Structure formats: structure tokens, C-alpha cells
Amino acid sequence: MKNILLFFILIFLNLQNVNANEYIKDEREKIQSERNSLAIGWRDNLGYELPKPGSYELYNIRMSGDGKIIDENGNENTLHNLMGGKITLLSFIYSNCTDTNGCPLATSVFYKIQEKIKKDNKILSKLKMISLSFDPTYDTPQIMSLYGKDLSYIKADWDFLTTESLEYLDPILKDYDQPVIRKYNKDGGYDGVESHLLRVFLIDDKKLIRNVYNVDFLHADLLINDIKTLLLGNE
């Protein structure tokens, strides 16, 4: 009788162990799936070796778009005037975006770029980063100022911009071929941004678009490599 009881106890313990192992396996797979669903830009390592800066060419895609904007201090300006003669990274964002692989990703990549180049005065002095809002109705200059308050904490030239209205924003979006889907209430009134495609634009010192990054290629290391390539081409 004791042997039979011991036999069933061992079976029970083995079943418990199997169930525990299955649970752990399921949890590991779930975590791995969640990690894989995050864009490459969230990862510390790119996962492959980049070519040496200057060993490849970035072609002229087209002239970048211009338009009237308002900076975080409420000053009116134009995009091209703000770019000046610097290499520019431009992203379109809105402050209450909750898509992990959308605006938060673009902002995170810009933040990582300034972290990685903070001791490289050569790049810092020749780089402009611009985050321009999709939603001027909500993202006033005050909101954009709050959005960027704790992000640009070093000498990186990073502006957080908006426009006076959708009327001023739409021609800019059209020039950059930047799609956005908007929400409207039952009365047909504008009710904010619903979704958009993530795109970040690399613009050279002559205001030509030289690369466009989507969610699959938006990583700080890759962008810095391309920036260095443009700088070497100017020497």
C-alpha cells in the first residue's frame, strides 16, 4: 500500500513539475513575443554591423518641404529658416500619442542620439533635430514646450514645433508625403489624431532629403552613421 501511495505521489509531483515547466515556457514565449513586437529602435544593439561612415552614398531624394511653424516659445518661423545650414532630423509627432512604435519611438531615438553624441562637438554643432506636431489644435507652443522640457538637456539643437492650424500643417505634410488619419466627432468637427505612419527624415545642409526611416530602420546607431556619412561628404 505504501509503495502504491508513493508511486502516485511521485506521479503527482512529476505532473506538477511538468505544469510548472510549461507555465515557465509559456511566460518566456510571451515575453519574447512582446520584445519582438517592439521596433528595432527600442533595442540597445542594432543586431548587425553597419558599414563604415563615408563608405556608401546617400542619394538625393527630393527637396524638403517648407512651411510656417511656431516654436515652443511662441515665435513664428519657417522650417527651412530653422534648419539653417545644418543637417536635420525631422519627425512628425503629437504629444498624446500612445502607439509604442509611433511617436514615443521617434522621440526615444532622438533622445538616444543626443546621448550618444553629447561628447562629439563636431556632430552636435552641425545637427538640428525637429519634432513637429501632427495636432496643432491640442499641441500649442506651451504643450510642446512641456513635451520637450526634460528631453533636450544638453547642447543638442532640438526644437519642438507646432503650427497655427491644420490649414498651415497640411501643406507641410503633403510636401513630406506624411499620411495621418484624423478623428471627427458626430458633428463633423475635428477631434484629434487617430493614427499615422512613422517616418523620420534626414535632410542635408542644402535642405535635400537624403533618407527616410520607417519603424523597421529607425535606430539611433543607423541614423548617426548616416549623419557622419553626410558630414564626411561635406569635407
**What is the average pLDDT value for the chain, to the nearest integer?**
84
State the DSSP code for 162: B
Q: What's the mean pLDDT in 134-156?
A: 87
Please report the pLDDT score of residue 191 as a whole number.
66
What confidence tier does 150 reach under pLDDT thresholds 50, 70, 90? confident
Check residues 40 and 109 and name the one with the higher pLDDT: 109
Instruction: Flag whether pLDDT at 34 surpasses 50.
Output: no
Q: Give the N- to C-terminal CA distance of the chain in Å, as an integer.
A: 89
pLDDT at position 13 is 52
The pTM of the full predicted model, rounded to 2 decimals, is 0.81
H/E run at residue 208:
strand 208-213
CA distance 191 to 206: 37
Reply yes or no on whether the pLDDT at 32 is more than 50.
no
Among residues 206, 200, 207, 234, the alpha carbon closest in space to that of 41 is found at 200
For residue 73, give the C-alpha cell. Answer: 516659445
Q: How sure is the predictor about 211, in pLDDT bands with cuts at 50, 70 and 90?
A: very high
Residues 68 and 105: their CA atoms lie apart, in Å, by 26
pLDDT tier, 175 (very low <50, low <70, confident <90, very high otherwise): very high
With bands split at pLDDT 50, 70 and 90, how would you rate the model's confidence at 11?
low
**Is the pLDDT assigned to residue 3 strictly greater than 90?**
no
Residue 87 pLDDT greater than 90, yes or no: yes
Three cell numbers, residue 16: 506538477
Is residue 182 pLDDT above 70, yes or no? yes
